[in-house]
Amino acid sequence: MRVVENPYYPGMTIIEGVDRIDFHCKRCGGCCRYRGDITLFPQDIPRIAKHLGLKSGDDFLQNYAEKVFIKGKPTFYKYVIKAKSDNLKTCILYDEEKKACKIHEAKPPACFFFPFVTNDYRKIDSECVIEDAPCIQESELGKGKKLIEYVKANPLYEEEFDIRMRFERLFVELKVKQFSHMNEALYSAISKRLFEGYSITDGKKEVEERLNDAEEWAIFI
């Protein structure tokens, strides 16, 4: 195991080479600080919108999410959950008074998997990176559950895991492809198809249909 500087947050550290952890949430809110980077998967959008009592997925995106364009591709984007404008960049969905997440039962994978950090779901059953947060100091590294065990322990994420894997592969593939004015409309269409226009009644079937379309359109890029 190695403690190294977090390349995304100067001054913060991460722990590499960990395969499992005996972790218990302390409800300290530490993982809800310095945010603005929680990526939303397509299926998160209608589920969270419904949980919040909103009318549509677009209502959720408009009020709680931010569009992030992929570097070098001005028409290709994803959505992340907004951060508040405070100095700690607290997640907009963190309730300071109750010290609780407003969407705890429907939170995205990045939140559910804390303290595991992975940008590659294909390596989810191997060594992972652990956030070196204060609450981790009271946990045992090398014991407890693997990340894949966290997934399988929650039917919500287990059922959708294959979709997340496909989305991750597609997004990585499109990020490294050549961008030109010839395919900018396709990049925009894929982003819109994956993230926008959801009804709160949409579920796995509808997300799979959208992902099928996106994968077919990506062939022409």
Output the pTM of the full model: 0.87
Query: Residue 207: in which H helix or E strand, if any?
Result: helix 204-218
**pLDDT digit string (tens) for 63-80?**
999 999 999 999 999 999
Which residue, among 144, 182, 167, has the nearest Cα to 215 in the 3D structure? Answer: 167
Q: What is the pLDDT of residues 96-134, one digit of tens each?
A: 899 899 999 999 988 888 888 765 555 666 667 888 888
Q: What is the pLDDT of residue 160?
A: 83
Confidence check: pLDDT of 180 > 80 = yes
Report yes or no: 5 and 12 within 8 Å, Cβ to Cβ: yes
The structure tokens listed for 1 are 């195991």
> Considering only CA atoms, which of 215, 208, 194 is closest in space to residue 78?
194
Please provide the size of the chain in residues. 221
Cα(119)–Cα(109) distance, integer angstroms:
11
